[in-house]
Amino acid sequence: MLTQDQIKLTEGQIKHFAQKGWVGPLDVFLPSEFEALKQCLETHSSVKEVEGQQMMTFYNNIMNLNTSRDLHLFHKPIANFFKNPKLVSLLNQLGEPNLLLWNTNVFCKMPGEGEIKWHQVYNSYDPSAYDPQKPALLYPKDENFLNLTVWVAIDDATIEKGCLNFANGTHEKKFRRLQVSPEEGMFAGVKNHKMVWQGRRQYSAVFDFNENEWTVEAAPAKAGQVIIFTERVMHCSRGNNSAQRRLGINARYVRPSVQIYPHRMQDDFIDENFHNIKRHFSFLVSGCDDYGINIVREWNDLDDTEVEFHNMANLVRFGHVKLPQGKQQIEIESLYQQAMEGDCQQEEPDPILQPRKYIQWQAWHQLKGTSRPEAMKQYSQLIAELPPIDQQKKLPLDEEIKAWLVAYVAKLLKMESHKVDCTLLFERYALGSADSAILTGELGAWLERDLSPTLLYNYPNIETLAKHLAS
Ligand SMILES: O=C(O)CCC(=O)C(=O)O
């Protein structure tokens, strides 16, 4: 572990970086520094099932959308981690005295999730990327710039779990990007990333790159360890073939001479991933900024009422409080809408055709004239009074889920439990679609989780369903 006065890369490490384009894994952080980061990501996320695949979802409270991107703009433990002087000192030693921290991204690979294909980062952000009018970065023409990425393993990233791989020396060369369909794109294998990155775009990209022509090196890392790489080096991560999650987060740093989201200067705040970057800002983490071409701040511009409101909304979003049913739930939802959007501008829904929507609309409409800060305060007060959900309550093991399913099927089919065959397909038990839907609903209620209606279709017997849910 490096201490404050031992923050020195060895000559070998500096050479490794110069020759291969990356260095690591490095032990930089104290366990307490890393725990703060990990805890923040665990608390402000939830796991959902989408199309039969578990997916970790995050929310950006500055951009107000579900995304794994730029969570450091709201969450201090994430920002502090990537501003940490020990880490920044390492980046300085690799050749950059002046650095802006402009972007972070969480990469989650749940068990069974696929690869992130080979890519270089620096031409993923310039005008040659997706929309020439909306480059994320505009590099100065006359500089041999060096942009840096720090990647941190939140869980152990082994080869089996899909750690990073680098093609050594590729940072000396620029590879061509090819336009492909979203299903073939570089992030297609990882659900949360595909959704964020792909957004509403019609196409994606891969690189014209043959790994057999290069020396490829896998870079496993233990939880808390750091890998630093230049944005020019080709890298990828293979699929997660283990039964455990592999979580990582990266941060990207540029020189202050690089313009970040230049299109915002024309009051265009929607970036090429359809994220609203109006409140985006960068941190000057070292040296000076002689250019003044970026929005650089010490911290975000939210006031205390807004911060409290967003924290309370996250408790709801990530299932940390037990929501009431009925009228009080609708009151909470309408206060949220008033706080986020102000007075209701929606058209009145048909009370017969859309009764629930109509009641919601009415409740929101009744708040007309309530200021957004006032709605935020009322919302925060209501959420603060809700009972917390015990986060320590672990998901039952597969044996427990299996026992529940056996008992359920036995009762439904009026047979003895020991005669229920856990490997037999549900359809062989003649469970109709209504029975399956009720089973899924009751199972979800028991597990206190939302389950996909296609669950029994994707995991067609007790054995596989129990294993899947327990993982
Ligand atoms: O975490 C991963 O699997 C990929 C990370 C990556 O591609 C990046 O940090 O640029």
Q: Are 130 and 201 in contact (CB under 8 A)?
A: yes
* Per-residue pLDDT tens over the stretch 301-340: 999 999 999 999 999 999 999 988 888 999 999 999 999 9
Residue with tokens 């209606």: 453
Ligand 1 atom nearest the C-alpha of 190 is 3
164 Cα–ligand 1 center, Å? 7
The end-to-end CA distance of the chain, in Å, is: 32
Tell the burial category of 419 from Cβ atoms under 10 Å away from its Cβ (0-12, 13-18, 19+): exposed
Tokens of 246: 């592999």
Q: Are 367 and 330 in contact (CB under 8 A)?
A: no
> What gap in Å lies between CA 309 and CA 61, rounded to an integer?
10
107 Cα–ligand 1 center, Å? 6
Residue type, 387: P
Q: How far is CA 220 from CA 13, 160, 217, 427, 454, in A?
A: 16, 9, 10, 43, 35
Low-confidence ranges of the chain (pLDDT < 50): none
Crossing angle of the two packed helices 31-43 and 76-83, in degrees rounded to 10: 140
Domains in the chain: boundaries: 4-286, 304-384, 398-470
* Per-residue pLDDT tens over the stretch 238-255: 999 988 899 999 999 999
Q: What is the DSSP letter of 172?
A: G
Residue 311's SS3 state is helix
Provide CATH code, domain 398-470: 1.10.1200.10
DSSP letter string, 1-69:
---GGG----HHHHHHHHHHSEEEEE--S-HHHHHHHHHHHHHTEEEEEETTEEEEEEEETTTTEE-SB
Residue closest via CA to ligand 1's atom 8 equals: 250
Q: How far is CA 146 from CA 101, 132, 285, 290, in A?
A: 13, 22, 16, 17
> What gap in Å lies between CA 271 and CA 280, rounded to an integer?
11
> What gap in Å lies between CA 254 and CA 283, rounded to an integer?
10
Q: Which helix (H) or strand (E) holds 88?
A: helix 85-93
Answer whether 149 contacts ligand 1 (Cβ < 6 A): yes
Residue with tokens 């409140």: 279
User: Residue 90's pLDDT is what?
Assistant: 95
Question: What's the chain's length in residues?
Answer: 471
Helices assigned H by DSSP within 255-370 = 304-317, 326-341, 355-365
Q: Mutation test of ligand 1: which of 41, 108, 110, 164 has the most ligand atoms closer than 8 Å to its C-beta?
A: 164
Q: Are 4-286 and 304-384 the same fold in CATH? A: no
> What gap in Å lies between CA 462 and CA 455, rounded to an integer?
11
> What gap in Å lies between CA 121 and CA 244, rounded to an integer?
27
CATH superfamily of 4-286: q2cbj1_9rhob like domain (2.60.120.620)
Answer whether 248 contacts ligand 1 (Cβ < 6 A): yes
User: Residue 94's pLDDT is what?
Assistant: 93
Q: How far is CA 305 from CA 59, 286, 319, 372, 375, in A?
A: 18, 31, 21, 10, 10
Q: What are phi and psi of 159, to 5 degrees?
A: -65, -40
- Report the side by side order of strands in the sheet with 65-66: 45-50, 53-60, 65-66
Q: Mutation test of ligand 1: which of 69, 104, 113, 116 has the most ligand atoms closer than 8 Å to its C-beta?
A: 116
> What gap in Å lies between CA 20 and CA 217, rounded to an integer?
10
Ligand 1 atom nearest the C-alpha of 162 is 3
Nearest-10 Cα torsion for 214, 9, 259, 125: 30
The correct CATH number of 304-384 out of 1.10.357.10, 1.20.80.10, 3.40.50.2300, 3.30.200.190 is 1.20.80.10
User: Residue 5's pLDDT is what?
Assistant: 55
Answer whether 235 contacts ligand 1 (Cβ < 6 A): yes
Residue 50's SS3 state is strand
466 Cα–ligand 1 center, Å? 31
Residue closest via CA to ligand 1's atom 3 equals: 237
User: Residue 304's pLDDT is what?
Assistant: 97
Crossing angle of the two packed helices 398-412 and 462-470, in degrees rounded to 10: 140
Q: How many CB atoms within 10 Å of residue 62?
A: 23
Q: What is the DSSP letter of 237?
A: E
